[in-house]
Amino acid sequence: MSRIHAATAGALALALALPPACAEEAEAAAPAAAAAAPTLDPVNVTATRRAASVFDTPAAVSVRTLPDAAPGLNLSEWLGGIPGLLARDRQNYAQDTQVSIRGFGTRASFGIRGLRVIIDGIPATQPDGQSQLSHANLASAERVEVLRGPFSALYGNSSGGVIQVFSGDGRAPGEANVAASGSDAGDWRVSAGLRTRWRGAGVVAGLSRLRVEGFRPHSAAERTSFNARLHWPAGGGEGVALVFNAFDAPEAQDPLGLDRAQFAADPGQVAPQALDFDTRKSVRQVQLGGTWSRGVGSAELQAMAYAGQRDVLQFLAIPVFVQGNPLQSGGVVDLGSDYGGGELRLAGESAPAGRPLQWTVGLGWEGLVQQRRGFENFAGDRLGVRGTLRRDERNAVASFDQFAQADWRLAERWSLQAGLRHSRLRFTSSDRYVTDGNPDDSGAVDFERWTPVLALQWRLQPGLNLHASFGSGFETPTLVELAYRPDGGSGLNLDLRPARSRSLELGMKWRPRPGLGADLALFRADTRDELVVATNAGGRASFTNAARTRRQGLELALNAALGEAMSLQLGFTRLDARMRQDYLACAGAPCLVPTQWVASGTRLAGVPASQGRLRWEGWRGGMRGFAEVRGLSAVGVNDVGSERAPGYALLDLGLTWAATPRVEAFVRLDNALDRRHVGSVITNDGNGRFYEPGAPRTLWLGLALQRRE
C-alpha cells in the first residue's frame, strides 16, 4: 500500500471510529443528525403507475437519492445495494453500464436488454428492447426508482424490470450548485445544476462533463451531458412539462475484454487487437419530450410525446481476413437512429360496492428508424480507419400498445390491483446493399402479446404489509438479434420468437417504528423460448430460442437507525437461475453449427448466485462517513458453463464534510484493500475475452459549492 493510500485509509478509519460526542455536542448536533438520518419512504413512487409510498406498493420497489461522497460518473453509483439489481461498472466508456434485474438483462454484451429505462417520463428503451443509461444526467437527477417483479409487465416489451430517473421539480427559494471531483488515476468530473422558479415555471437543469483515463491503456473517454426540465402547473388539474436532453461522447476508447490467461497475468493490460484497430466509439444524442395533463370532469387526461436522434460510430477489432467473406458487414458500424413515440392515458376514481377504486386506461405508440451502414475497418495497410462500404440497410420497428389498470380497496385492510396490456410490434428491414455475393436481406416480422398482472395486498398490522403478485411478460429479439440467420442465409431471422415469462412474487414490508424497516420478497420467473447464441463466426452472431429457464430466489432490504447518529443498511439477493431443458450451443468461435450440449440445470451465464452490500453510516456535526462491503459470488461467462469469473468482496470508505451550509467536500477510497477482481463479464464473447477487470484501489476527492436564493 502506498503512503498516500495508507494515510488516507487510516484517516478515514479514524474518522469513522470517532467516539460519541459529549452531551453539549450531542445536543448541538441533534438537528443535523435528524436531517442526515435516512428516511424509509421519502417520496411517493409511481413504479406501478399510481402514486403510493414504497410501503403501500404491492411490488418490490426501491428508491435511491444522491449518495454521499459520490464522484458522479455513472448511474451505477445510485443503484448500489438495491436487492435483485446488479449494476456493473465496466471501466469501459465505449460500452454502457451492465445492468440486470433478477437475472434479466445478462445476455447483453453491450447496452441493456430485457429491462425498461425511463428518464423524466421519456422512454430510454427503444421499441425493440434496446436501452442505454449513458444520457441520464446526474447533475439534475433527484431520485431513481427501480421496480422488480411481475408488475414490470405493465410497461410492455422487455420489462424484466423498470428503472426510472426523475429530475424533480423546480422550487422557490431556488438553488444553484457547482461540483468537481477527481481521482488519483487522473479521472475527473465537473458539473453545474440549477433548481428554481422563473416567471411561473419550474426550472431544473444540469450540465456535466467528465474525462477519464482509466487504469488500463486505451481506456480514455470524455462525455458532456445536459438535461433541462421546465414545468408549468397551471392549476385546475392542468400541467405541462418539457424535457430536453443532449449527450456527446466523442471517440471513447475500447480496451476490449481479456481472456482468462491475460487477466491472470496482468488485469491492467489491454487486448492487442484494441491497439491494432484503435477500437473506439462515438455517440451523440438529442431528445425533446413533453407531458400534459388536464382534468376532465372527475378524471384526468394525461399525454406524453417525444422525439430524438442518436448517432453511433464504432470501430471494432474484426480481423481483415474475416472481412473477405462477401456476407461480412465490416468492422465499422455507422448507425443513425430517429425515434419517437407517445402515450395517452385517462385516469379516474369511482366507488363500486361503496369501496374506492382507482382506474387507468390508455394507449401508447413508439417508432424507431435506423440507418445501419457497415464499412471495412482498414484501407490498404492502414487499420482502424473507415474503408469500403459493406452494409447499407434501413431497419424500422413500430409498436402499438393498449392497457388498462385498476386498484380497488376491497376492505379496510385489503386491496386488489389488476392490469392488462396488449402489445403489437412490427420489425422491417430494407436492404440497400445488394451484390452478386450478398443477396437482398429485406424482410419483416410481427410480434403480438397480451400481458396480464394481478396483485393482492393485505395490511396485517399498521406497520406490516403482505402482498402476492403474478404477471406474464415477454421479450422480443432486438434488431441486432434478428439481423442474421443461423444457417448463414440472407434475410432476417424470422424464425426467432419472443421469450415469454410468468412471474410470481410473495412480499413482506415491515415498518415497526420510525427509522427501522425491512422488505422481503420471494420470487420465481419461468421463461420459455429464452434467446441464446446459435452461431458465432466472422464477427456475426446469430440467435435462437432455447427451451425453458427458471429464475428464483429471495431479496432482503434492511434499513435501521442506530441511535441518533448512525444507521445500517443491508441489501442481499439469492438467485438461482438455470436452464430447465437441454439444448445445443456453441462451444467457442468460430462456430457455424452448435455442437455442445447445455444440460438442464446449468446456471445462466452472467448471473451470480448471491450478491449483497452492507453499509454503515455515521454523522457528527457537519461530518458524515460511511463504510461498506459489497460482494458477489462467482459468475459463469458462457452458456456452456466452461469458465467462471471468481467472486469477490470489496471495502469502500468515504467521508463528507459540510464546511459551511454552502460548501461541502468529500474524500472516498474505493476498493480500499486493493483486491484484484473481475468487475464485469462479456457473456459468450466469440473471442473468449470474457473478463473486464475491476478498478484497483482508487482515491477520490470532491468539492461542491451551493448558493440559495
Select from 4, 8, 189 the least CA-distant residue to 653. Answer: 8
What's CA 208's distance to the chain center, in Å? 19
Q: Which residue has the higher pLDDT, 61 or 443?
A: 61
Q: What pLDDT score was predicted for residue 537? A: 67
How large is the average pLDDT for residues 455-481? Answer: 93
Alpha helices, DSSP H only, in 235-311? 260-265, 272-276
The pair phi, psi for residue 36, each rounded to 5°, is -85, -20
pTM for the predicted model, two decimal places = 0.91
Q: What pLDDT score was predicted for residue 138? A: 92
Peptide bond into 173 cis (omega under 30): yes
Answer yes or no: are the C-beta atoms of 532 and 543 closer than 8 Å. Answer: yes
Q: What pLDDT score was predicted for residue 20? A: 36
Integer Cα distance of 189 and 212 in angstroms: 8
Asked whether residue 290 is domain-assigned, the answer is no
What's CA 296's distance to the chain center, in Å? 36
Integer Cα distance of 274 and 358 in angstroms: 55
Integer Cα distance of 116 and 675 in angstroms: 33
How large is the average pLDDT for residues 334-355? Answer: 93
Integer Cα distance of 108 and 100 in angstroms: 9
Q: What is the pLDDT of residues 249-298, one digit of tens each?
A: 999 999 999 999 999 999 999 999 999 999 999 999 999 999 999 988 88
Cα 305 to Cα 129, 399, 422: the distances in Å are 19, 14, 20
Select from 397, 605, 607, 362 the least CA-distant residue to 483. Answer: 397
pLDDT(27) > 80: no
Q: What pLDDT score was predicted for residue 486? A: 78
Got the DSSP string for 32-68? Answer: HHHHHS--SS-S-B-TTSS-B-STT-SSEEEEE-PPT
Confidence of residue 3 (pLDDT cuts 50, 70, 90): very low
Confidence of residue 513 (pLDDT cuts 50, 70, 90): very high
pLDDT(651) > 50: yes
The pair phi, psi for residue 482, each rounded to 5°, is -85, -10
Q: What is the pLDDT of residues 219-244, one digit of tens each?
A: 999 999 999 999 998 544 578 999 99
Select from 368, 372, 414 the least CA-distant residue to 394. Answer: 372
Asked whether residue 293 is domain-assigned, the answer is no
How large is the average pLDDT for residues 344-362? Answer: 92
Asked whether residue 297 is domain-assigned, the answer is no
Q: What is the pLDDT of residues 362-372, one digit of tens each?
A: 999 999 999 99
Asked whether residue 696 is domain-assigned, the answer is yes
Q: What pLDDT score was predicted for residue 37? A: 42
Cα 633 to Cα 77, 407, 609, 653, 688: the distances in Å are 20, 39, 6, 21, 21
Integer Cα distance of 357 and 410 in angstroms: 9
Joined grid coordinates for residue 158: 422487455
Integer Cα distance of 252 and 463 in angstroms: 49
Joined grid coordinates for residue 608: 451470480
Integer Cα distance of 130 and 157 in angstroms: 10
Q: Which one-letter DSSP state was computed for residue 215? A: S
Alpha helices, DSSP H only, in 234-325? 260-265, 272-276
What's the domain range around 319? 3-282+306-359+367-708
- Among the residue ranges 128-132, 398-402, 672-676, the one predicted with the least confidence is 128-132
Integer Cα distance of 205 and 141 in angstroms: 9
pLDDT(543) > 90: no
Identity of residue 30:
A
* Structural domain total, the chain: 1
Integer Cα distance of 128 and 157 in angstroms: 8
Q: What pLDDT score was predicted for residue 511? A: 95
Q: What pLDDT score was predicted for residue 34? A: 38
Q: What is the dihedral of CA 63, 65, 68, 72, to 10 degrees?
A: 110
Long-range own/partner contacts, residues 593-602 (CB < 8 A, 24 or more apart):
593/535, 594/534, 594/535, 596/640, 598/546, 598/639, 598/640, 598/641, 602/578, 602/639, 602/640, 602/641
For residue 610, the number of C-alpha atoms closer than 13 Å in the C-beta half-sphere is 9
How large is the average pLDDT for residues 610-638? Answer: 94
Peptide bond into 590 cis (omega under 30): yes
Q: What pLDDT score was predicted for residue 588? A: 67
pLDDT(336) > 60: yes
Across the chain, mean pLDDT equals 88
How large is the average pLDDT for residues 8-22? Answer: 38
Cα 470 to Cα 149, 431, 505: the distances in Å are 8, 42, 6
Q: Which residue has the higher pLDDT, 488 or 142?
A: 142
Confidence of residue 315 (pLDDT cuts 50, 70, 90): very high
109: left (phi over 0), alpha (psi -120 to 50) or beta: alpha
Cα 306 to Cα 13, 156, 170, 215, 652: the distances in Å are 49, 18, 21, 38, 40
What's CA 88's distance to the chain center, in Å? 9
Asked whether residue 605 is domain-assigned, the answer is yes
Asked whether residue 213 is domain-assigned, the answer is yes
pLDDT(33) > 60: no
pLDDT(674) > 90: yes
Q: Which residue has the higher pLDDT, 272 or 443?
A: 272
Asked whether residue 301 is domain-assigned, the answer is no
Of 15-24, 126-135, 273-282, give the range with the top mean pLDDT: 273-282
Quick one: CA dihedral 316, 89, 555, 141, positive or negative? negative
Answer yes or no: are the C-beta atoms of 395 and 479 closer than 8 Å. Answer: yes
Q: What is the pLDDT of residues 689-703, one digit of tens each?
A: 999 999 999 999 999
Quick one: CA dihedral 270, 272, 276, 280, positive or negative? negative
pLDDT(17) > 80: no
Identity of residue 245:
N
Q: What pLDDT score was predicted for residue 15? A: 37
Joined grid coordinates for residue 582: 437441454
Select from 601, 583, 599 the least CA-distant residue to 531. Answer: 583
Got the DSSP string for 598-625? Answer: E-TTPBPTT--SEEEEEEEEEEETTEEE
Q: What pLDDT score was predicted for residue 441? A: 78
Got the DSSP string for 457-489? Answer: EEEEETTEEEEEEEEEEEEPPPHHHHS--TTS-
Joined grid coordinates for residue 141: 437527477
Integer Cα distance of 179 and 169 in angstroms: 20
> From the CB of residue 626, how many other CB atoms can be counted at a distance below 10 Å?
22
How large is the average pLDDT for residues 136-159? Answer: 92
How large is the average pLDDT for residues 503-513? Answer: 96
For residue 615, the number of C-alpha atoms closer than 13 Å in the C-beta half-sphere is 23
Q: What pLDDT score was predicted for residue 489? A: 63
Q: What pLDDT score was predicted for residue 692? A: 95
Q: What pLDDT score was predicted for residue 36? A: 42
Answer yes or no: are the C-beta atoms of 56 and 463 closer than 8 Å. Answer: no
Q: What pLDDT score was predicted for residue 540? A: 66
Q: What is the pLDDT of residues 574-589, one digit of tens each?
A: 999 999 999 888 776 6
Which CATH number characterizes residue 50's domain? 2.40.170.20
Answer yes or no: are the C-beta atoms of 548 and 500 closer than 8 Å. Answer: no
Confidence of residue 118 (pLDDT cuts 50, 70, 90): very high
Integer Cα distance of 673 and 234 in angstroms: 54
Of 114-118, 230-234, 476-480, 666-670, give the range with the top mean pLDDT: 666-670
Joined grid coordinates for residue 364: 401508447
How large is the average pLDDT for residues 144-159? Answer: 92
Confidence of residue 686 (pLDDT cuts 50, 70, 90): confident
Q: What is the dihedral of CA 366, 111, 273, 648, to 10 degrees?
A: -170
Asked whether residue 292 is domain-assigned, the answer is no
Q: What pLDDT score was predicted for residue 13? A: 39
What's CA 174's distance to the chain center, in Å? 30
pLDDT(183) > 80: yes
